[in-house]
Amino acid sequence: MPWPGAAGTLFLMTDERTPVERTLAELGATSPEAIAARFAEVRARFDAETARLAPCDLAAWTAVRNAWLGRASGVITAIGDNWLKPATPEQKRVVGKSLNGLKAHVERTLEELRARAEAAGDAGPAAAGGSDLSLPGVRRALGTRHPIRQTREELERIFRSIGFSVVEGPEIETPYYNFEALNIPEHHPARDTMDTFYLSLPKGSPELLLRTHTSPMQIHTMERQQPPVRIVVPGRVYRRDNPDSTHSFAFHQIEGLAVDTDITFCEFKGTVEYFVREFLGPKTRTRLRPSYFPFTEPSAEVDASCFACDGRGCRICKHAGWIELFGAGMVDPAVYGFVNYDAKRLSGFAFGIGVERMAMMRYGISDIQLFYQNDVRFLRQFE
Ligand code: 2NL
């Protein structure tokens, strides 16, 4: 059965052509009013499409321009081909005039939109919903170096200024480098005060421990190079201490070592005095007190005249006038034996400075734990 009313009608369901792809005759628009109405429809459609354009979506703008002004298949070309060319001479005047009007409207509108897109681009991506790079940024507070780091760098600077190099090494060591090569044999009482954290490893593995001082790196250095040696070794060290206001199971040291053919106690004393004056000020006096370390002979505790009372006696120096700074001494010849240095020809000195202790003196801090709590109210004081 034929489709009711299908034959010969202009409204075949299968005809998917748009109005501008058909002739005005096919559309039934032959009177000037009907033609004007068709043009009005097309113009309304164009206005609707351009109204949807985002202010600086250039890709969408280009698509609209091509759809309307494209030479081969744009709407304006289609109207020229399908509405104007087949029109009767009387219709042509009306169609031509309307087409010119429409084309001018399309061109003008698209040009305006392009100008708007450019202006939006100049105003920054914010106009398109992005971020505006011309706005002031979000300022993030700059961090500061931790007071221990600052003190360590100051200590490094002082020793660099007199020819020492800075060397760093691992925090995990073998008992040989941490103890034996430093003249601390297995059952030496000095191991008790420095006994430390051993790594739990599978049975049969060689023993490893957390270094109790940075001296192992000095042994490594002497194994690798012949004198002259002038190094300082900063870094974190570990000891089995219970925490209190002056103890921590992890703290920092800067150890020094100088070995050469003609280093005497004078070089040792001169270096120590230079360091103390650089760190605590030129008026500071230095005193060496006899002491004992397995790896130095003779050994000394280095004291400085109290920075708070200049030696007159106060609460800080417990009325002694002197404050203990660090331990030091002439390298024990036994140590040279472990690194194949010629003990008859060579001599040197060494020292071990606690970085926390120096920082506490420098800043008047009485509790070492403050360094490890990362309380910004404490840390901000060192900006
Ligand atoms: C302290 C002070 C010290 C050393 C460390 C050292 C290193 C080598 C040879 C000889 Cl390779 N000495 N270091 C010397 C004297 C003191 O540290 O209070 N230590 C427990």
Cα of 95 to ligand 1 centre, how many Å?
104
- Chain segment 178-229, per-residue pLDDT in tens: 999 999 988 777 766 667 899 999 999 999 999 999 999 999 999 999 999 9
Q: Is the pLDDT of residue 360 over 80?
A: yes
- Chain segment 48-76, per-residue pLDDT in tens: 999 988 877 788 888 999 999 999 989 99
Cα of 285 to ligand 1 centre, how many Å?
22
Is 254 strand, coil or helix? strand
Compute the average pLDDT of residues 225-241. Answer: 96
Among residues 96, 127, 158, the one where a domain terminates is: 127
Cα of 177 to ligand 1 centre, how many Å?
13
Cα of 256 to ligand 1 centre, how many Å?
8
What pLDDT, on the 0 to 100 scale, is given for residue 307?
85
245 and 328 share one domain: yes
25 and 123 share one domain: yes
d(CA 203, CA 178): 21
The terminus-to-terminus CA distance of the chain in angstroms comes to: 95
Token pair in block for residue 66? 């091509």
Cα of 314 to ligand 1 centre, how many Å?
30
Distances (CA, A) of 360 to 147, 212, 275, 312, 375: 9, 21, 17, 21, 16
93 and 211 share one domain: no
121 and 164 share one domain: no
- Chain segment 85-96, per-residue pLDDT in tens: 999 999 999 999
Q: Domain span at residue 356?
A: 148-382
163 and 250 share one domain: yes
154 and 71 share one domain: no
Q: Is the pLDDT of residue 3 over 90?
A: no
Among residues 127, 162, 180, the one where a domain terminates is: 127
What pLDDT, on the 0 to 100 scale, is given for residue 70?
93
**pLDDT band, residue 11 (cuts 50/70/90):** very low
Q: Is 138 within the bounds of a domain?
A: no
Is 102 strand, coil or helix? helix
216 and 287 share one domain: yes
What pLDDT, on the 0 to 100 scale, is given for residue 10?
39
What pLDDT, on the 0 to 100 scale, is given for residue 193?
63
**pLDDT band, residue 124 (cuts 50/70/90):** low
What pLDDT, on the 0 to 100 scale, is given for residue 53?
86
Compute the average pLDDT of residues 131-153. Answer: 88
**pLDDT band, residue 121 (cuts 50/70/90):** low
The more confident residue out of 221 and 133 is: 221
pTM (predicted TM-score): 0.66
d(CA 154, CA 242): 28
114 and 195 share one domain: no
**pLDDT band, residue 118 (cuts 50/70/90):** confident
The more confident residue out of 119 and 349 is: 349
174 and 261 share one domain: yes
What pLDDT, on the 0 to 100 scale, is given for residue 1?
34
Share of the chain above pLDDT 70, in %: 92
Q: Is 350 within the bounds of a domain?
A: yes
Pocket test for ligand 1, best of 255, 291, 335 (most atoms within 8 A of CB): 255
What pLDDT, on the 0 to 100 scale, is given for residue 6?
38
Atom of ligand 1 nearest to the CA of 218: 11
What pLDDT, on the 0 to 100 scale, is given for residue 115?
85
65 and 164 share one domain: no
* Phi, psi (degrees; rounded to nearest 5) at 160: -60, -35
Q: Is 330 within the bounds of a domain?
A: yes
Structural domains counted in the chain: 2
What pLDDT, on the 0 to 100 scale, is given for residue 328?
98
109 and 219 share one domain: no
Cα of 250 to ligand 1 centre, how many Å?
17
- Chain segment 281-325, per-residue pLDDT in tens: 999 999 999 999 999 999 999 999 998 888 899 988 899 999 999
> How far is C-alpha 212 from the geometric centre of its chain's CA atoms?
31
Mean pLDDT of the chain: 90
Q: Is 141 within the bounds of a domain?
A: no
Nearest residue by C-alpha to atom 15 in ligand 1: 328
Q: Which residues line ligand 1 (CB under 6 A)?
A: 215, 218-219, 255, 257, 293, 295-296, 326-329, 331, 335, 350-352
Q: Is 28 left (phi over 0), alpha (psi -120 to 50) or beta?
A: left
